[in-house]
Amino acid sequence: METAIVRHSGPRAFLERAEPWLLRREAENNLVLGLAASLAEGASGYSSPLYFATVERAGRVAGCAFRTPPYKLGLTRMPLGAVPLLAHDVAEVYDHLPAALGPVDAVRAFGEAWAALRGVTVGPGPRQRIHSLEQVTFPSPLAPGTVRPARPEDIPLVVPWLKAFAAATGHLETDAAALALRLTGTGRDGRLALWKDGVPVSMAGFPARTRHGVRIGYVYTPEKHRRKGYASALVATLSRQVLDSGFGHCVLYTDLANPTSNRIYRAIGYRPVQDVMDVEFG
């Protein structure tokens, strides 16, 4: 069966070709759907060149790859036999990659192909699990406090929390202050919430959305406020707000090395969709 890598001129052209295929597993493909849609609407802040490609077999989409420099390459599920061809196509665009993220089998195969192609080392990075929720189960008892949107005046608080979140999760965020400004903006850009129990004690956001779902992210509670149920209460409340606003599901990622967070989100109603991992290049 003939396999081809089709590189697209930008996120809009990519979505025109790939979106129907991606929506078949919308929760699983939330990252690329949300990213491409945001870019198609005019979001910026990434270096050039962007990379959006489809893996095609017999003229049909069978997988996708994407990158917004300086960040890692992203992969969806795809036929493993197409991975070496994809690695060669990516190599025509980039001399080096910091890492790649995707379903375990696909990203391991890509890591091996890229390492052989570029003569670099490759090693396993963080492993995560994508979860999806369609109905919320609130913790009982619910932690004391209330939720409120994060505002621009919260930036001095939010910036160190975002830095601590990035350090704990291995996320690459080059400018926490700029991210805080975006997340605490007004209107559609206001995508961060705080749980307040006298003072703000936890944060969580909804940084991206797809046609029928919203991704919950940036969940962080400072050490001195942990083990009190604040994050559970905040994520449950935000998830209910998302569903009440008309979306069909919420998505979030958990670190498989952190059994506590996996247990907490499972109790709220999140169910596993797919395991993904990073491979990191030396």
* 192-197, strands of its sheet edge to edge: 3-7, 51-57, 60-67, 73-75, 99-103, 271-281, 122-133, 249-255, 213-220, 199-209, 192-197, 146-149
pLDDT at 170 over 90: no
Confidence of residue 186 (pLDDT cuts 50, 70, 90): low
For all residues of the chain together, what is the average pLDDT? 93
pTM above threshold 0.85 = yes
- The model's confidence at residue 63, banded by pLDDT at 50, 70 and 90, is very high
Residue-wise pLDDT for 264-282, tens only, equals 899 999 999 999 999 999 9
Contact of 118 with 96, CB cutoff 8 Å: yes
Average pLDDT over residues 189-218: 92
Q: What is the mean pLDDT of residues 209-227?
A: 95
